[in-house]
Amino acid sequence: MKKTWSLFLQDIRLSLQGLYFYMEIIIAVVFVAVMLFVVPDSFSRTETRHVYLELPAPLRSVVVGELEASGATIVLANSLAELEQSMQKDRMSSGLVVSQDGAWLRLEVVLQGHESEQTRALLQATVEGAMLEGVPGLTGRTVTTVLVPNAPRLSDRDSLIPVYLTINVALMGLFIIAAYIFLDKEEGVIRALAVSPLSTGQYLVSKMLLMLFMGLVNSVVVVALLRGGLANYPWLIALVVASNLFGSALGLLIASYFNSMVQAMEVLYTAMIVLMFASYSYLMPSFSPWWVRILPTYSMLFAFREVLFENGNVNLMLIAIVQLAVLGMLAFALAHARYKRTITV
């Protein structure tokens, strides 16, 4: 342990004299700044709705009032032709024609044509709902219930934090630890260490500790600045340890099959791309095929989301930590066995 610690301190000293450590801090600070000052809290845009009303004056004012209350920007048109012309100028807008057909209120939703079936149905239901709520004498039949009242919810902006943590804290180690090993090989330092009482395992662990140190600094800085006291820090640290172990060990294992960073780059990059498919599922839950759900980064991303709450889902976090730790240790054992035979050859 003394030797591993000595080498770890040595690596810290070397990294402080290089650029990488400061780059990590700068990236974290830039990410926080972009999140705070550039990225909006919510990604949903205010929808513009062009409306043509073929209604008598009293009913007209009631309908306009209800539509404005829905939050959309209402642009009134004087004719159907004017409505269509306005919509062509704004391809993200939608249209609505409201007319009276005897005792019936007739609603005609006008769309651009690129909307999905789900969007069309949702829009139709929203308009109908708004009318049913507001027009006197009519009542809605739709009832909405929630499983957890007042459930904590991340803003759209904070929902990006798990993606950042997965890339910069867990997967960046994949590249960086490989780069450190190849640098030691190129400088020949690894040969000097190989003829000292330091074991291969101690050498590899010291490199992983360096990755962990940087991962912890990076993640705590980002989460503290963006979530403050709302996050669960003990779980965050536990998850960073497990995910960093997984990323670093995988990087070691891949690097053990190559003699230089240039040779290893293609495989490292492919591994990172495949692992990052999970972020598509995280950001777009409708895309979640089985092969993405079995990626370790899938549970990692959702667990990182949970640690951002004071009382996140413990089961989700625990399962991810155990899974990542086991996979990390397995990858480390394989990498260690390979390096014992090849590190100085």
Q: Applying CB under 8 A, which residues contact another protein?
A: 2-3, 6-7, 10, 13-14, 17-18, 187-189, 191-199, 341, 344-345
Is the CB of 15 or the CB of 166 nearer to another protein? 15
What residue has token string 């999140």? 35
Q: Which helix (H) or strand (E) holds 197?
A: none
Q: Give CA–CA dist 268/136, Å, rounded.
A: 64
Nearest approach, Cβ of residue 300 and another protein (Å): 33
Nearest approach, Cβ of residue 290 and another protein (Å): 41
Number of neighbours of residue 57 by Cβ within 10 angstroms: 7
β-pair partners for 54: 99
Nearest approach, Cβ of residue 281 and another protein (Å): 42
Is the CB of 17 or the CB of 145 nearer to another protein? 17
Nearest approach, Cβ of residue 222 and another protein (Å): 28
Output the DSSP codes for 73-129: EEEEESSHHHHHHHHHH-TT-EEEEEEEETTEEEEEEE--S---HHHHHHHHHHHHH
Is the CB of 32 or the CB of 193 nearer to another protein? 193
Is the CB of 7 or the CB of 254 nearer to another protein? 7
Is the CB of 193 or the CB of 250 nearer to another protein? 193
β-pair partners for 217: none
Nearest to 214 by CA among 30, 1, 12: 12
Is the CB of 33 or the CB of 192 nearer to another protein? 192
Q: How far is CA 250 from CA 150, 175, 339, in A?
A: 40, 10, 13
Coil, strand or helix at 50: strand
| Displacement of CA 72 from its chain's centroid (Å) | 28
What residue has token string 């009382």? 311
Nearest approach, Cβ of residue 205 and another protein (Å): 14
Coil, strand or helix at 155: coil
Nearest approach, Cβ of residue 199 and another protein (Å): 5
Is the CB of 203 or the CB of 235 nearer to another protein? 203
Q: Give CA–CA dist 234/46, Å, rounded.
A: 39
Nearest approach, Cβ of residue 256 and another protein (Å): 15
Any idea how long the chain is? 345
Nearest approach, Cβ of residue 190 and another protein (Å): 8
Is the CB of 83 or the CB of 335 nearer to another protein? 335
